[in-house]
Structure formats: C-alpha cells, structure tokens
Amino acid sequence: DTLVNQIAAGEVIERPASVVKELVENALDAGARRVDIDLEEGGVRLVRVRDDGLGIPPDELPLAVSRHATSKIASLDDLEMVATLGFRGEALPSIASVSRFALSSRRVGAEHGATLQVDGGRVGDVTPRAHPQGTTVEVRDLFYNVPARRKFLRAERTELGHIEEWLRSLALARPEVELRVSHNGKPSRRYRGGGEERLDFDDGAARLVETLGEAFAGATLRVEHATTARPAGDDGRDGAPALRLHGWIAQPTYSRASADQQYLYVNGRAVRDRSVAHAVKQAYADVLFHGRQPAYVLFLELDAARVDVNVHPAKHEVRFRDARMVHDFVYRALHEALSATRA
C-alpha cells in the first residue's frame, strides 16, 4: 500500500506548499480558530501544523493515515460538501508515505491525547501523549525516500515563497482564523483572527491590510454587487442571489498592481479563471482608461450546482455552467463600482 500512497502523493504533493495546504485545510475542516505553522528550511526539513480544532480520538489515528478513510465520504450527498472535498481521504496517507510523519491529537472533551508515527509509509503504534485539545501533524524530510522527487525541490526561499503565497490567499478568504507562521525557529508571519464568519467590510479590511499592505488597502474600492436574475428554468433557492460579487479592487493610484495581486475566489475557494479576469480588466479599461493589470481581491458566489469545481486535480480552475452570464455579471459589477469614482 505504501507504493499506492506514494503514487497518489506524486499527483498531489508537489512540494512543501502542498503539504501546508492539505494540513491547514484539514485543520479548518476540524473547526480550528487558530493554526500554528512551523517550518524549517522552506518546509523541506519540517512542516508542523498545530490546530485547536475538534481533535481525533486515539483509536481513529490509524484510520486517518489509511487510504480513503475520510470522514467526509459518508455525507457525499451534500453537494456543497462535494464542492469542498479535496482528494478524499488521500492527503495524510500520501504525505506519510513520502516523509517522516507524526500525528498527535486530543479530542475535545477527552482526558488523554495520543500520537502515531509513520515512517516512509510504515505505520507505528498508537501511544499516549500529552497534547492540548486539537491536532498536530509533523512532516519531516519530505521526499527523503523518493530521491527523484526530492531533487525537484527548490531553494529554501523559493519553497517558503510558495507557502507564503498560498497562506496569503487563504488568509484573505478566512479572516476569522488566526494564522501564525514561524520559519527556522523565528516568528515570520501572523494573521490575527477573530473576524466574522463571512468576510464583512471591517474585518475583511483589517485582513486586507495584514495580507497585502496599507498601500493596497488604501487604494481599494469596495465592490458589492448581486443579482437575483436567473436563466430560464433555474429556480434556485428562495430569495438567494443567483450571483454575488464582493471584495476590493485597487485604483490606478496603486502603483504596485500586478497579475500576481489578482485574488479570485469562487464560493470561498481560490481559483484562476481567464474569463472573469478578462471581465475585470475590461471594465477597468472601459471606465478608467487604464490598460494595465488591476490588483484585486474578489469573491464570487453562486449556487454550487452552477459551477463545476472538478476540472483540475489541484482545483485551481472551475467551469461555469453559464460562463457568458458570469462574465457579463462581473463586468457590470466592476463597471458600477469603478464608475462611482468618476462621478
């Protein structure tokens, strides 16, 4: 089975940033309000993710590191859930097959914690261990037993950069969660949590300053646009907007705008989409006569049934059922927001 897991790891675990992504997403799934991420050597030597979530009972630790033992499969009938699923129950076994891995946890309400080590896929025994409520996953020496993969890892700075970029994108979407990062034993980043569940203006703006800086936040325009109009035959949910776009776009006075400061989220998930990017850029050019790449953080929300998130294994892309309608909606939303500045 170790080989199967290593093959699975080959598909989804590309570098330390992929490990961080999987572990932090698990922490958030477990209801964590605070996540600590300790890294050494760009995450190659160590990725340790500790959360204050629900925790795992000792007897379920072996399940968590075995294939397809996901707690989510039982509830697959929930569409929203399918939309948020990663690669179902493969992350921990995959990561554990290509690293020196330890999973420690204490379940909410339980008196004792426990730990389980996996070394290159060889699963050890569950042993008692003191642990605060929540879970710690430790991943050491990524790809130590797969030299062909290890040699594709880049310099410490580069790997750290990938991790920081992913965390920035997550931090923007989840302002309620506190994230603390250390690198080589020194605190390197902190995103304060405590905002509202969904991004609202004030909390989101605080997080915006933390992630993208004062200059960006100071130059942004608020975008908030929704429509209840639906295509014929689509009843949707009562009163729910068919489409909603909210977030911020920087005005041309923000001089550091570039294509890597374009954050788009569809139903809370960071994605890249050419058609939406085009709609934003077009509105920018039409209203502000400004042809350069705009910088933005935009959240698009629509019924899960109207967007296919399973286009790409790592899920950075989506396919809209009605791409034209989405494009035009985004264009109108930005046109309106930007026009307000010229009045």
Residues within the interface to ligand ADP (CB under 6 A): 22, 26-27, 30, 51, 53-54, 56, 64, 70-72, 86, 88-92, 135
Least Cβ distance, residue 163 to ligand ADP (angstroms): 17
Q: Tokens 């800086």 identify what position?
A: 213
**279: contact with Mg ion by CB under 5 A:** no
d(CA 113, CA 106): 4
For residue 255, count other CB atoms closer than 10 A to its CB: 10
Helix axes 156-173, 16-29, angle to 10 degrees: 30
Nearest-CA neighbor of 262 among 253, 270, 207?
270
Site membership for Mg ion, residue 5 (CB under 5 A): no
20 binds Mg ion (CB under 5 A): no
**Nearer to Mg ion (CB atom), residue 26 or residue 105:** 26
> Which partner from the list ligand ADP, Mg ion, none does 72 bind, CB cut-off 5 to 8 Å by kind?
ligand ADP
Q: How far is the CB of 287 from ligand ADP (least distance, A)?
A: 42
How many residues belong to the site for Mg ion (CB under 5 A)?
Answer: 3
By CB under 5 A, name the one of 91, 172, 217, 257 that touches Mg ion.
Answer: 91
Which CA distances in Å does 113 have to 51, 109, 132, 231, 315? 14, 11, 8, 53, 34
- Residue 20 CB, shortest distance to ligand ADP, in Å, is 13
Q: How far is the CB of 88 from ligand ADP (least distance, A)?
A: 5
Toward Mg ion, which CB reaches closer, 86 or 195? Answer: 86
26 binds Mg ion (CB under 5 A): yes
Kindly tell me which of 85 and 173 has the beta carbon lying closer to ligand ADP.
85
| Piece of 74-82, 91-99, 103-111, 291-299 that binds Mg ion (CB under 5 A) | 91-99
Min CB(145)–ligand ADP separation in Å: 19
Question: Token digits for 57?
Answer: 């009972």
Q: Which does residue 257 touch among Mg ion, ligand ADP, none (CB within 5 to 8 A, set by kind)?
A: none
9 touching Mg ion, by CB under 5 A:
no
Nearest distance from residue 138's CB to ligand ADP, in Å? Answer: 12
Residue 18 makes contact with Mg ion by CB under 5 A: no
Q: How far is the CB of 30 from Mg ion (least distance, A)?
A: 10
Q: Which is nearer to ligand ADP, 43 or 86 (CB)?
A: 86
Choose the stretch contacting Mg ion; rule: CB under 5 A; options: 21-29, 169-177, 280-288, 332-340: 21-29
**CA distance to 19, 51, 96, 135, 177, per residue, from 54 (Å):** 20, 9, 21, 8, 15
* Closest-CA residue to 6 (of 124, 93, 81, 73): 93
Report the residue number, 64 or 297, with the smaller CB distance to ligand ADP: 64
Closest approach of Cβ 297 to ligand ADP, in Å? 26
Nearer Cβ to Mg ion (70/220): 70
Q: Residue 81 or 206: which CB sits closer to ligand ADP?
A: 81
Site for Mg ion, rule CB under 5 A: 26, 86, 91
